[in-house]
Structure 1
Amino acid sequence: MSAQPEHRADPRVRPIPHTIDAVAGALTGAKRMAFYAEIGQAEEGEQINAVLRKWWMEAMFDSRPGRGQRLADADARRGLVSLPDLAGE
């Protein structure tokens, strides 16, 4: 048995560690600066954890190819699938 965490087999998206340095390294430009500004003002405990979670998710979304196109499609209401369709109902 391995002590290594299990990750999805999708080679396009590598997990980003939940650390300030890893999240900052995964963000670029204005997003990185906004992250540093927000994390720098966060208090110890839940507030800093919430900021880190928020920006970790942003970094993960950015790490998946085609985010801009997916957002544009959603704004234009192209390719939307209803929840019952996703559930196979």
Structure 2
Amino acid sequence: MTAEPIHRHEGERVPRNAEGIAAALSGGQRMEFYRELLAAAPEQAKGVLLRWWGQAMLDTDPDADTRADAVLAGTVPTLSLGDLLARRRAAGLPVE
């Protein structure tokens, strides 16, 4: 199994809060995000925020077309799962 390497950005394109996420989403997505967030139980709210933050980051990726072309061409650099976990551990990030 392989995973795409993580590339750090200078700051985040999308702030990790409800306001930042909503601002990055299109109108229909924004409405769905708020509907899910408002309907979520307190213990589920973090999961809703994380999922929609990921969607907002994908939607605002300036290299999305280039990345998609590389995926389709089979030229995307990959990393083994073991190497990815080792990098995350070395950086003090969770690996669960």
Structure 2 gaps, min length 5: 1-7, 84-96
* Structure having the higher Rg: 1
Instruction: Show the 5 A alignment for 1:5-84.
Output: 10=10, 14-45=12-43, 47-71=44-68, 73-74=70-71, 76-83=72-79
> Aligned residue pairs: how many?
74
Structure 1 segments (4+ residues) deviating >4 Å: none
CA RMSD for the aligned pairs? 2.6
What TM-score does the superposition give when structure 2 sets the normalisation length? 0.57
The higher-RCO structure (CA 8 Å, 6+ apart) is 2
Separation in structure 2 between the aligned mates of residue 69 and residue 30 of structure 1, nearest angstrom: 25
The superposition leaves residues 24-77 of structure 1 with CA deviations (integer Å, 9 ceiling, x where unpaired) of 0111133212212211211112x0110001111221222220324423542x24
Percent identity over the alignment is 31
- Counting strand residues as a fraction of each chain, which structure ranks higher? 2
Normalised to the residue count of structure 1, the TM-score between the two structures is 0.60
Structure 1 stretches lacking a partner, 5+ long: 1-7
